[in-house]
Amino acid sequence: MELNNLYQSINLILPEIVLSASLVILVLADLIFHKDKRLIPYIAGIGIAITGAFVINQFGISGFGFQSTSQSIRNYGLIAVDSFGVFFKLIVIASSILIIFFSLSSSEIRKIKDRVGEYYALIFGMILGMFFMISATDLILIYLSLELLSLSSYVLAGFTKLQDRNSEAALKYLLYGAVSSGLMLFGISLVYGLTGSTNLYVINSLIQGPHVNLFTLSLAIILIFAGIGYKISSAPFHFWTPDVYEGAPITITAFLSVASKSAGFALLIRFIKTTFVSYINDNGEWTLINVFDWQSVLIAISILTMTLGNFSALWQNNLKRMLAYSSIAHAGYLLLGLVVLTNQGLLAILIYFIVYLLMNLGAFLVVMLIANKINSEDIDDYNGIGYTSPLLGVSLAIFLISLTGLPPTAGFIGKLYLFVALVDVKMITVAVIALLNSVVSLYYYVRVLKHMYLSKATDSTPSIIPTFGTGILVLVLVIPVLVFGIYFGPLVNLAKSCLVIIGF
Amino acid sequence: MMGFPILTLITFLPVLGMIIILFLKKEQGNTIKYTTLAITAIQVVLAIILLTNYNYSAAGVYEERSFQFIEKFRWIEIGGISWLGTVKIDYFLGVDGLSMPMVLLTALISFIAAISSLNINHSLKGYFALFLLLDTGMMGVFVALDFFLFYIFWELMLLPMYFLIGIWGGPRKEYAAIKFFIYTLFGSIFILLVMIGLYFSATETLADGTKVFTFDLLQLMNSGNYTADGILSPLNPNNLRFVAYLALFVGFAIKIPMFPFHTWLPDAHVEAPTPISVILAGVLLKMGTYGILRISYPIFPDITRDLMWWIAIFGMVNIIYGAFVALAQKDFKKLIAYSSVSHMGYVLLGMASLTSTGVNGAIFQMFNHGTITAMLFLIVGVVYDRAHTRGLDDFGGLALQMPAYTGFVTVAFFATIGLPSMSGFISEALVFVGAFGVDSIRVITMISALGILLGAGYMLWTLQRIFFGPLNQKWATLKDIDSREYAMFIPLTIIIIFLGVYPSAMLDIMNTSVNTLVNFLHNNFTVSSISGL
């Protein structure tokens, strides 16, 4: 590898380098300040902020890093930097910063304050894994980044060790994760055997040729999808989600449900678009290489995911578990944007992720603040809480309404763009199924409102007045949900400028 | 009045009131109540100002320049890129003869409901804040001329309604509230789909000559704006206009409520507190029929012509079925609820005739049903507040005990039956005259006329059971109506009798627009047929 090439590549991974450096600093700081660890979260926050600055700096750049000189097609590298990647990295950064604030106010995390250095270091491990997942264009790097993310998440899921369910979550997560990453690795080896390459762009050009064994290739693709589907918790790889989400500390659950899912989606989109799309026409419609019918598979998975998620959520009495199923359902909605195989659909996914970040983290934040006080996420303990804790009650109501997708909240705009993308390619039946799903989801979201407001407050109903800081945090999430619901121009413009996936 | 944003004011004034209320303290119960009352009173004043400045000869319907009090500016604009056209959504308000009566009705009923709400006695702050939000949603639906804006207002009402029924309602309030919510959301997803479909089917030419997709209802009514391959474009031989019409119709029919989508209504009405029942019956039900007149009819005139017979059939079923079920009721409030189902059937029948007389009758019936049913629900509220029961057989001889109350009840009941000199008579007569004149639905009209007979049956029987005969001694201590209740009944009584004697006061407002609409329906969108099946 030429030195010049290496230098350029290092420029492209500056955010990742900063992240790694911060990770090292965090570990060192944990050793130095082992008596008083109050500074650790702030160090972590600064590390993420600097990373964020470097990510923003990459906006508008596109290029490949770590290009190989040995291959015949030398223009493609291990990682791709483009505005699509920058967008998802920013989603990760934004949720990481919020998660650090969440952690500061979480009583669960306060109980383990001796080990808080490891906690943040592992979060950095997750972020690093996500960053590489978002920009990886090589199957080996995809696998490695996925494992880096997963290993950190397994530990974090059971990190608090306060209850049995923490360990249960970690173990279940590990077992499911091990199986799906094994399947994925097998799929990767099959692809390598078929094409002799692990680079997505090379594979793209090779599978367009006539000598591809379609059966083996399809098998390999399904196996690889198992690994990615597990990360985005799409059916039928979603079974770990409720248990892990319920058992993990709420901060980690929230982080998994937004950041980890967004990285998984970025990977899935990049994987499909770079490997299987041969041509994009002027209307932004993608033409697939005729080796694997992604569209039908994605339609089936999307509908299955949202329907299973929504119907299972109907019966949940634990808010965390309900939100877990709801996040499965949302993975289903998000897949709709990919089903259509158009730029319009991609746009819808990006918009939906901004909205999803706000409303889902918001819902988890309120659940966490309530759990801090009453030490429970049981829906019956929410009876009358809307009267005794007005700010949290109203905020949770707004987040849940937004998750349902009713105007005038941002959730409606997210859903609207997905349905616009569907109607644009005339997939009316799919749109109707998705819309009926959102009617189903209304029932369980409103069930929470029912407990909060339709049940009378009793003397034992806790009154939870957030501190100044957490109050601001709640408002930071609530206000955009309302504002973007009424004035969504900036949202769409931002997403529109982040559609570039290099290669086409 | 040009330039003064009076429609924005009348629509968003309640939101202002809501914000004021949210800043008041819980203990300031009376301030909260009177703020709401003042806001709704100002709304009535604004509605009267609208009326005095209203041009009776301007048609509106599909023509932007003959709409009145127009406010239009760009709300969302997203620049286009190669594969994505410019997205623009307008904040577009205006009234014409179809919406003006509804704006008046909304202002009036909100005011009456605010008076009726004065005896709400717990969680006042929440109640009145939600009440005002609901008010904004209702008013917005009637003045919005952009489909997207219309939809936002349409959905805005769901949540306040859910809470108003669910928190302040009767014993089965939770069930009724969620049933209402899920039913109406189910309806509105179809409206949403059709909205998106229409968006991709028609373009609007901007001032600089570029063509962009549009949510503007008036542009969607122009058959010349449709693209050749849009899924809801009449020019596309494989269009889905027929399916879309049905979907849209179901969305609106749930709100009317049309048989067989009416089952949420008795539950919601029976469980809702009196003022909310008043709003539900007085205004919300009208949104369904208004939506059909404003959106389904002029955007899909081709399908409307094809399906008018079916709409008439459903109108007839509503009339007869509602009346029969009302006859069987033992609960006063449920009886009124089913009488609503029956009376909204007249609206459907009048609309189905596609004649000036019939449609005039339909809109007039919407207004009259709003005032009369509002009064009926208030009447139920009065007796329920005192006796805490609504069983029709629990009473008897109340006329002796509450003579003034009985007087108002008699007026309202006779207006419901359609006694001449009451407003209900005129509108029902117009509906029947209009529908009878159309050959294809003449038989349907004749059968529907039975509804009048049945209506007289259940209303008079109710009058007899509750008010006549010997006084049930249990109720010998009931007081006659107080000044607050007089304040609710008198304006409604005056309007009911005034419009019965001088219907032109209302008919003139809508007549020009209705004639334009009917002409439009018969002469536009002639290329398409039911080819989308």
Q: Please, what is the end-to-end C-alpha distance for chain B in angstroms?
A: 48
What is the per-residue pLDDT for A304? 94
Beta strands at A63-67 and B203-205: parallel, antiparallel or unpaired: unpaired
Q: What is the mean pLDDT of residues B436-450?
A: 90
In angstroms, the CA A22 to CA A153 distance is: 18
Question: What b/e sequence results for A409-441 when a residue is b if at least 16 CB atoms lie within 10 Å of its CB, and e otherwise?
Answer: bbbbbbbbbbbbbbbbbebbebbbbbbebbbbb
Give percent of chain B above pLDDT 90.
Answer: 49
Q: What is the CA radius of gyration of chain A?
A: 22
Question: How many of the other CB atoms lie within 10 Å of CB of B1?
Answer: 12
What's chain B's average pLDDT?
Answer: 88
Report yes or no: B387 and B402 within 8 Å, Cβ to Cβ.
no
First to last CA, chain A: 25
Cβ of A420 within 8 Å of Cβ of B199? The answer is yes
Would you state the pLDDT for residue A272?
Answer: 92
Structural contact between residues B481 and B382, judged by C-beta atoms closer than 8 angstroms = yes
The helix or strand, by DSSP H or E, that contains position A434, with its residue range, turns out to be: helix A428-449
Helix axes of B423-436 and B332-352: crossing angle, nearest 10 degrees: 40
Average pLDDT over residues B451-463: 90
Q: What is the pLDDT of residue B530?
A: 41
* pLDDT value at B80 more than 80: no
CB B427 within 8 A of CB B361: yes
Distance from CA of B154 to the nearest CA of A (A): 9
Give A435's contacts in chain B (Cβ within 8 Å): 189, 192-193
Both structure tokens of B90 = 């307008």
Is the bond preceding B257 in cis, omega lying within 30 degrees of 0?
A: yes
Instruction: Give A82-122 pLDDT, tens digit per residue.
Output: 899 999 999 999 999 999 999 998 888 888 888 888 899 99
Q: What is the CB neighbour count within 10 angstroms for residue B327?
A: 16
pLDDT 10s digits, A441-499: 999 999 999 899 888 878 778 888 888 889 999 999 999 999 998 888 888 888 888 88
Residue in B with minimal Cα distance to A447: B178
Instruction: Select the residue of B166, B178, B192 nearest A435 (Cβ to Cβ).
Output: B192
Give alpha helix (H) positions in B5-118: 6-23, 29-52, 100-116
Helices (H), A106-163: 107-111, 116-135, 139-157
Distances, alpha carbon B300 to alpha carbons B199, B222, B413, B523, in Å:
14, 10, 37, 12
pLDDT of residue A125: 93
Q: For residues B267 and B255, what is the distance between their CA atoms, to the nearest angstrom? A: 14
What is the pLDDT at residue A1?
53
For residues A255 and A251, what is the distance between their CA atoms, to the nearest angstrom? 6
Q: What is the pLDDT of residues B160-203, one digit of tens each?
A: 999 999 888 888 888 999 999 999 999 999 999 999 999 888 88
* Cβ-nearest to B174 among A343, A401, A450: A450
CB-CB under 8 Å, B163 with A439: no
CA distances from A18 to A131, A151, A188, B344 (A): 12, 21, 30, 68
pLDDT of residue A73: 54
* Closest alpha carbon within chain A to B186: A439
What type of residue is B454? L
Fill in the amino acid letter for A427: M
Kindly list the domain boundaries of chain B, sorted by start residue: 300-526
Distance of CA A67 to the CA centre of its chain: 28
Q: Give Cα B476 distance to the centre of its chain.
A: 38
Contact B484, B118 (CB under 8 A): yes
Task: Establish if B155 touches chain A: CB-CB under 8 angstroms.
Answer: yes
Asked whether residue A334 carries a pLDDT value surpassing 70, the answer given is yes
Give backbone dihedrals phi and psi of B26, rounded to 5 degrees, phi first.
-55, -35
In angstroms, the separation between the Cα of residue B183 and the nearest Cα of chain A is: 9
| pLDDT tens digit sequence for B201-222 | 888 888 777 888 888 898 888 8
3-state secondary structure of A63: strand
Helices B100-116, B29-52: crossing angle, 10 deg rounding:
160
Average pLDDT over residues A178-186: 93
CA distance A408 to chain B (A): 6
Tokens of A97: 């910063």
Residue type at position A331: A
> Which whole number is the average pLDDT over B20-32?
86
Cα dist. B234→B112, B238, B239, B358 in Å? 45, 9, 7, 27
Q: Hey, are the CB atoms on B174 and A453 less than 8 Å from each other?
A: no
The answer to whether B189 contacts A436, with C-beta atoms less than 8 Å apart, is: yes
User: Cis omega (within 30 of 0) on the bond before A407?
Assistant: no
In B, which residues are within 8 Å of A416 by CB distance?
192, 196
Q: Closest chain B residue to A394 measured between Cα atoms?
A: B126
Distance between CA atoms of residues A381 and A462, nearest Å = 9
- Gap from B231 CA to chain A (nearest CA, Å): 8
Of the candidates B40, B218, B198, the one whose C-alpha atom is nearest the C-alpha of residue B146 is B218
Residue A71: its pLDDT value, please?
52
Q: Which residue has the higher pLDDT, A221 or A165?
A: A221
pLDDT at res. A68: 67
Find, in chain A, the residue whose alpha carbon is nearest to that of B196.
A420
- Mean pLDDT throughout B454-469? 88
In whole angstroms, what is the distance from residue B85 CA to residue B476 CA?
A: 72
pLDDT-derived band of residue B74, with 50, 70 and 90 as boundaries? confident
Which chain B residue's Cα is nearest to A400?
A: B159
When mean pLDDT is compared across A183-187, B76-80, B126-130, the lowest value belongs to: B76-80
Helices (H) and strands (E) in chain B — how many of each? 23, 4
Per CB-CB distance under 8 Å, the chain B contacts of A347 are: 84
Contact B189 A439 (CB under 8 A): yes
Supply the pLDDT for residue B153.
Answer: 93
Smallest CA–CA distance, residue A301 to chain B, in Å, is 22
Q: Is the pLDDT of residue B124 over 60?
A: yes
For the segment B230-250, the average pLDDT, to the nearest whole number, is: 87
DSSP 3-state of B192: helix
Give residue A72's pLDDT.
54
What confidence tens digit (pLDDT) does each residue in A141-157 have? 999 999 999 999 999 99
Q: Tens digit of pLDDT for each residue in A362-379?
A: 999 999 999 988 888 888
Q: Confidence class of residue B1 from pLDDT cuts 50, 70 and 90?
A: very low
> How far is residue A480's CA from residue A470's CA, in Å, rounded to a whole number?
16
Q: Quick one: which of A361, A481, A338, A332 has its CA closest to A413?
A: A481
CA atoms within 13 A of residue B359's CA, in its CB half-sphere: 24
Residue in the block written with tokens 């079925």? B321
Residue A390, sorted as left (phi over 0), alpha (psi -120 to 50) or beta, turns out to be alpha
For residue A261, what are its two tokens? 């899912």
Phi, psi of A461 (to 5 degrees): -65, 125
The helix (run of H) or strand (run of E) holding residue B92 is strand B87-95
Residue A164: exposed, middle, or buried by beta-carbon count in 10 A (0-12, 13-18, 19+)?
A: exposed
Which residue, among A365, A270, A369, A381, has the nearest Cα to A323 in the 3D structure?
Answer: A365
Please state the rounded mean pLDDT for residues B114-132.
89
Question: Which one has a higher pLDDT value, A500 or A399?
Answer: A399
Quote the CA–CA distance of A227 and A188 in Å, as a whole number: 10
Task: Give the single-character DSSP code of B25.
Answer: -
- Closest Cα partner for B358 from B432, B449, B443, B253? B432
B152 touches chain A (CB under 8 A): yes
Least confident of B218-227, B350-359, B364-373, B500-509: B218-227
Q: What is the pLDDT of residues A117-145, one digit of tens each?
A: 889 999 999 999 999 999 999 999 999 99
Chain B hits for A449, Cβ within 8 Å: 162-163
Question: To probe the interface with B, which of A286, A388, A402, A446 has the most B CB atoms within 10 Å?
Answer: A446
**Interface A:B, Cβ pairs < 8 A:** 95
CB-closest option in A412, A420, A436 to B196: A420
Q: How confident is the model at residue A389 (pLDDT cuts 50, 70, 90)?
A: confident
B24 in reach of chain A (CB within 8 A)? no
Locate the chain B residue with the closest alpha carbon to A344.
B84
Residue A269 makes CB contacts below 8 A (sequence gap 6+) with A84, A338, A346, A349, A501
CA B204/CA A345 separation, integer angstroms: 24
Bridging pattern class, strands A286-288 and B68-78 = unpaired
The answer to whether the CB of A361 falls within 8 A of the CB of A444 is no
pLDDT digits (tens, 9 = 90+) for A14-24: 999 999 999 99
Phi-psi group of B396: left, alpha or beta (phi > 0 → left; psi -120 to 50 → alpha; rest → beta): left
pLDDT recorded at residue B533: 37
Residue B152 CB neighbour total at 10 angstroms: 21
Which of A407, A453, A493 minimises the CB distance to B155?
A: A407
CA distance B488 to B484: 7
Which residues from chain A sit within 8 angstroms of residue B156, using beta carbons? 407-408
| Percent of chain B at pLDDT exceeding 70 | 97
| Closest to A217 (Cα-Cα) out of A205, A203, A227, A230 | A203
Task: Report pLDDT for A504.
Answer: 55
